[in-house]
Every structure is written in C-alpha cells, then in structure tokens.
Chain A
Amino acid sequence: EVQLVQSGAEVKKPGESLKISCQGSGYTFPTFWIAWVRQMPGKGPELMGVIYPDDGDVKFSPSFQGQVSISADKSANTAYLQWSSLKASDTAIYYCARRGRASGLDVWGQGTSVIVSS
C-alpha cells in the first residue's frame, strides 16, 4: 500500500524550533515530488513548498520562502519540514502529499497538528 505517515501532534511555545516528518512507503520515494501543505483552522489548503527527494531540489511558495526549511533523507524515505522560531500564527495542520505522475496530489499523509501557544 502506498502511504505517507507523518509524525505526531506538537504543542510548542513561541520562539521554539520544530521539525516534523513524513515517511513514505509502498513506492519509490525518491522519484516523486513531496509537497508540504498548510491548512489553518477553517481555511483551504496552501502550498508551502516542495522537494524532490532524489536530488534534494526544493522550491518554495513566495509566502513561505525564508519562513521554513524543507529537506529529505532518501535513504530513510522521509521528508521534513522545519521551523527555527515558531510563531503563534504557525498554528495549523500540516500535510505532506505526493505529486502523482498525472500531477494531482494523489497520496496524502494524515496530517500533523502544530499548536504554538505561550
């Protein structure tokens, strides 16, 4: 079964750092783009950025450039999303998703809830 499994929910304080993960299985992980998508409460999804695990090519949406880091370890079939200093406005659910060969996001992780509160 093709799946993406994300790390568990996080509760952090403003200013703290965080790294969440997304592990793929059931397919050739390095050769599919992985997207990170933010969904704030009651809102639509927003693309943050993407990574091609095979060569580490990363591209960001303009709104998220400089706000987060994206990386991958292809030997571990895992992609990561990282913050160096969280803000309350980073409170959201974060999904990873695979870009399918036909270009829709065809496989999604279960989501990681991040709550940032003092």
Chain B
Amino acid sequence: EVVMTQSPATLSVSPGERATLSCRASQTINNKLAWYQQKPGQSPSLLIYGASTRATGIPARFSGSGSGTEFTLTISSLQSEDFAVYYCQQYNNWPQITFGQGTRLEIK
C-alpha cells in the first residue's frame, strides 16, 4: 500500500497570505495525485488532479506541483472560504487509492 503523509497537520495563515501544503508518497506515483478540499459537514471536493491540473471551476489561486514522491498544494492569496481541511490522494494503481491524513488550514 502506498502511504501518503501530509504536513503540517495544522497550518495557521492570515487571509490574503500564501499557504503551502505538502504531501509525500511512500513510493513514486507517476504524478497520479489529486488534492481535495473538505469543509465542515460537507463532502470532499476535487481541486487538483494529475498533480497540477485544476478541476473544473477551481480558481487559479489554487495550484499543484511536484513529482516523484513529493507534492505541494499552494493557495496564493487565502480567501475566507479556503479555510478547510485538505487531503492528498494517490491513484497510481487504481483502484488501490490512498489518502493522506489531511492538513487543517485555519485562520491565523
């Protein structure tokens, strides 16, 4: 099983600032990486797939990067609606997909 490790567990950032979230895979995943946002009481929603492609309707302030085993989600200028939990997920060997444990992005 590919283990996904996210850091930090909690990130405190002020509105308007940049947030950088990290995700590490226990083995190479050929850029088969997605990021999801989950707000309290809601389902996860897809932000990024293929490590760097924004899903339909996702604002340009969200960007994904990385390769091999190290990946990053950057939110360039935080809006109030961006404070949520973010999960990375690998899908290199469908359907043996695995999620990270999440990063909680909170208002500083």
* A interface residues with partner B (beta carbon < 8 Å): 33, 35, 43-47, 49-50, 59, 61-62, 95, 97, 99-100, 102-106, 108-111
Contact = CB atoms under 8 A, between A and B. Distances in A.
Contacts, number: 66
B44 A102 contact: no
A104 B89 CA distance: 9
Chain B interface mostly: loop
B105 to A, nearest CB: 15
A59 B97 CA distance: 12
Interface residues of B, number: 26
A106 B46 contact: yes
A63 B2 CA distance: 14
Given A45-B99, A47-B98, A104 B44 contact: no
B49 interface: yes
A105 B32 CA distance: 12
29 contacts: A33-B94, A35-B97, A43-B101, A44-B87, A44-B99, A44-B101, A45-B87, A45-B89, A47-B95, A47-B97, A49-B95, A50-B95, A100-B46, A100-B49, A102-B49, A103-B49, A103-B91, A103-B94, A104-B34, A104-B49, A104-B50, A104-B55, A104-B91, A105-B34, A105-B36, A106-B49, A106-B56, A108-B45, A110-B43
